Amino acid sequence: MVRTFLQVAAGAADIPVTRLLGQSPAGLSATGDSDTGNYYDMVAARQEVDLRPQLERLDRLILRSEGIDPASLTFVFRPLWQMDAATAANVALTKAQATAVYAGLGLWPAAVTARLVQAQLIEDGTYPGAEGVFAEAGAGSEPEAGGASPALDFDPGQPRNPDGRWTTGGGTSVIPVGFHMERERRRRRERRRRERAAKAHHASPEEGNPSPTVTDPSGRRALPVPPSSPSVARPAGIPSHWIEKPSNTGVGMKWSNPENKNDVVRSMPPDPASPFPHQQVSYIVDQFGGYRDVDGNPIIAPNSRKAPEAHIPADRFIFKRP
């Protein structure tokens, strides 16, 4: 009867029987860890709900009386559950790996990473006396006498891109490797396309007399203009004040509305080597706020630029605008 009463009292106090009465856990392979964990969770909840508001109010009064901004300081309760050495080592390894990943992303300079790691080691208590060792080594020290500032391994005025990442200068963002690979694949595809068009007109970009060139939009290189490009006829109906220039690929010509950059008509020569029938004949691409078909209707498709309807045969094209 007395033991039953004590168990009821332990339940009312929300304290495990093993802790209140000091008895061993009952049952096979029982360690009492689950009971202890539940008890610690209850204590931690009371610390945050009951104690923290009272302590923060008292701290604000004390700090203000000493002329210290209360917002500059905070506190945490000591953990009730102590990890063993193996678990603590695994946690430290996981944090170190995460820090290495962040440092590799280049989100901040190396000096900032060093400061963060030092703060983490001091907070976790990984190395006893780490704070004093860092202070003796000069980590985070003030500038030396004479006005000399410690050397920085980065330029404080270095620009950042819109994502907040450090850039190499001039506002150029850090470009991932995958972007370079995709850009190189596009260059190879465009090179093969130009070679096929040149062979179709009995002219190779690497043989014979040098052909006229135009600069691509990036300004990095000159694109050969096949001999067929100047012979592309201006489609009937295009206003005379529209700007005429070679297409971005150097094959064909395009005419753009100076008052609307999204209003463009592009005329392309036939490409007999193309696997697509609609590119094996001379065709027109009408882009007026979106790609249009032969009747001037918008093309509704996931990739309307590559749709066969967007390649209008030159002999069927009629310039239409509202």
Q: Tokens for 153?
A: 């391994």
Most confident range, picked from 16-25, 125-134, 180-189, 234-243: 234-243
Task: Report the percent of the chain where pLDDT is more than 90.
Answer: 9
Residue whose token pair is 């210290």: 68
Q: Tokens 């907070």 identify what position?
A: 123
Q: What pLDDT is stored for residue 200 in this prediction? A: 66
pLDDT at position 205 is 43
Q: Locate the domains of the chain by residue range.
A: 2-72, 85-136, 185-316
Q: Measure Cα distances from 272 to 69, 208, 275 in Å.
A: 77, 22, 8
Residue owning tokens 């304290």: 15
User: Tens digits of per-residue pLDDT, 66-118?
Assistant: 888 888 888 888 888 777 788 888 888 999 899 888 888 888 888 888 888 88
User: Would you give the DSSP letter of residue 169?
Assistant: S
Spatial CB neighbours of 80, under 8 Å, sequence gap ≥ 6: 40, 43, 44
DSSP, residue by residue, 28-85: TT--SHHHHHHHHHHHHHHIIIIIHHHHHHHHHHHHHHTT--GGG----PPPSSPP-H
Task: Report helix, strand or coil for 132.
Answer: helix
More reliable by pLDDT, 7 or 54? 54
Pairing of strands 243-246, 283-288: unpaired
- What pLDDT is recorded for position 140? 45
- pLDDT of residue 174 exceeding 50, the answer is no
pLDDT at 264 over 80: yes
Sole residue written with tokens 């370079």: 180
Taking each helix axis as running N to C, give the angle between helix 110-124 and helix 85-105, from 0 to 180 degrees, rounded to the nearest 10.
Answer: 170
Beta bridge partners, 244, equal 255
Q: Confidence band (pLDDT; 50, 70, 90) for 161? A: low
Residues forming beta bridges with residue 256, ordered by sequence position: 243, 264
- Provide the percentage of residues in the chain whose pLDDT is more than 70: 72
Query: Residue 13: helix, strand or coil by DSSP?
Result: helix
| 173 confidence band (pLDDT: 50, 70, 90) | very low
Half-sphere exposure of 54 (CA within 13 A, CB side): 5
pLDDT score for 57: 92
pLDDT at 259 over 80: yes
Length of the chain, in residues: 322
Span 134-147, mean pLDDT? 57
**Contact yes or no for 160/231 (Cβ under 8 A):** no
What pLDDT is recorded for position 103? Answer: 84
